[in-house]
A and B are shown apart, each in its own frame.
Chain A
Amino acid sequence: AQSVTQLGSHVSVSEGALVLLRCNYSSSVPPYLFWYVQYPNQGLQLLLKYTTGATLVKGINGFEAEFKKSETSFHLTKPSAHMSDAAEYFCAVSDGEKLTFGTGTRLTIIP
């Protein structure tokens, strides 16, 4: 069984500030971890993923995430928020076949 918990359904940050979106997971097997972004009226887009190897993963648009096995976490960060980052973000875990999503975090950027 696997599950994902995203802390904070809404996060607001000022433009230029650090973005931190939290994700914790549970999995009975070594997990594959993903972050997806969804802009209004669009499908989910893959931001980044962790499968094996380096625990710090870099994605598109300046985002990165670090896999911490001891904390069962995969938090998403970006050093400096941009207005275009406003969207819904989903963390997901996979056992290699089934993809399980968190409830999502809506990111608002304050000008």
Chain B
Amino acid sequence: GAVVSQHPSWVICKSGTSVKIECRSLDFQATTMFWYRQFPKQSLMLMATSNEGSKATYEQGVEKDKFLINHASLTLSTLTVTSAHPEDSSFYICSARREGRRFFGPGTRLTVL
């Protein structure tokens, strides 16, 4: 089956720094990728939809200048959390769409000190 990877799997950073998370579709090309955030004991919340070669579409309430998304190729999308703060600590999950099906990465746990 299709595989989606994320790197890193976990990251700890200091408040005020920026963190980049990569999402790769390993064996297929994905024109559309999705970024989710999951807080403890809560549901996965869609943050943005990333389309290759165009600007990402952000969900209401998600700051596009804080969560920068780049989808420069058909196999890679990146999420950069800029000027991270402790409240940004969460589990970030990406998903890639292939032939109508969604494939999910294993997630990246971000802890901001």
Contact = CB atoms under 8 A, between A and B. Distances in A.
Contacts of B44: 90, 101
Contacts of B46: 98-100
B43 A102 contact: yes
Interface in B93-113: 93, 95, 101-107
Size category, A interface:
10 to 19
Contacts of B105: 43
Contact of A41 (B9, B34, B43): B9
B8 to A, nearest CB: 13
A90 B93 CA distance: 14
B69 interface: no
B54 interface: no
B96 to A, nearest CB: 10
Interface in A56-111: 90, 98-104
B5 to A, nearest CB: 9
Contacts of A90: 43-44
A111 B71 CA distance: 46
Contact of B101 (A9, A46, A100, A102): A46
A41 B106 contact: yes
Nearest to A92: B44
B41 A43 contact: no
Closest 10 CB pairs of A and B: A43-B104, A44-B104, A101-B44, A103-B43, A101-B43, A43-B106, A43-B105, A42-B106, A103-B42, A102-B43
Interface of A: 4, 9, 36, 41-46, 90, 98-104
Given A46-B101, A90-B44, A99-B95, 5 more contacts: A4-B43, A43-B103, A43-B105, A44-B104, A98-B46
